[in-house]
Amino acid sequence: MTKAKLGIIGGSGVYELPGLKNPRWEHVPTPWGEPSDQLHFGEIGDLELVFLPRHGRGHRIPPSDINYRANIDALKRVGVTDVISISAVGSFREDLSPGTFVLVDQFFDRTFARKKSFFGVGCVAHVAFSHPVSPGFADHVEAAARAENIRVHRGGTYLAMEGPQFSTLAESLLYKSWGCDVIGMTNMPEAKLAREAELCYCTVAMVTDYDCWHPDHGDVDVPSILKIVAENADNARRLVLRLATDFPREHQPCPIGSDRALDTAIITPPEARDPDLVAKLDAVAGRVLKG
């Protein structure tokens, strides 16, 4: 079996874990450009963790300017098998109040200004994405949250908006009427690219506000969000630490095939593939392209 390596995409501070051994920052170049930041490596017991600040240290990069392809490629390139995405979100449900951690299992992609695939002209692929979150991985994340007595809700739909502005009231009411549960700006195309890279993926959506639909709450504003984010930071660290402590040291096959997503996805026959694009896909799709 493959040795498990846990990737964590999230904000600064999550990687400041007690007991993290051999911490170090490393620059990982990719053929898709520069990731958001260097990768931060460390170990909990005999499990290696790789942290990536999604917006860069100091939160320098807005959601639509994140190089999602470089981020996912870099994690895959260093051997990550499973990726937990820790993200701040707004809530469309009264019962999903600020401070709740939601393990979403579906996405609604409303972004339009981002590169959403590693594949393209010269090598076409269509991966299955009906179930975007690896349920086996989510089981481990849920167990870690409950072991730490963190308020967690399993299941829900994450609407990904472009941003950087927050929703209008009309948009917020519409998304709520669609049955979406939370809203954020960063998990698309991140989740799609993770599937193309055959990484098991799970989102921990940390609720910071009620968007702007709630009649008893005002507009979303950065200071109030940062206050909740700060309050959630300790819970996020405890979740990651418990997850890493209890996580299987051998990668467990994904029950929905996230880690074999490219087995039947590439349509372009070998003789018609663009060699330059194939070369760029060495980390993401080398398992199937080399075969």
Residues at the annotated binding site for phosphate? 12, 54-55, 87-88, 186
**Residues labelled as active-site residues:** 209, 211
Q: How confident is the model at residue 221 (pLDDT cuts 50, 70, 90)?
A: low
Residue identified by tokens 């599937």 is 195
Q: How confident is the model at residue 222 (pLDDT cuts 50, 70, 90)?
A: low
For the entire predicted model, the pTM comes to 0.95
pLDDT beyond 70 at 138: yes
Write the pLDDT tens digit of every residue in 247-270.
Answer: 999 999 999 999 999 999 999 999
Q: What's the mean pLDDT when you consider all of the chain? A: 94
Q: What domains can you pick out in the chain, each with its CATH number?
A: 5-289 (3.40.50.1580)
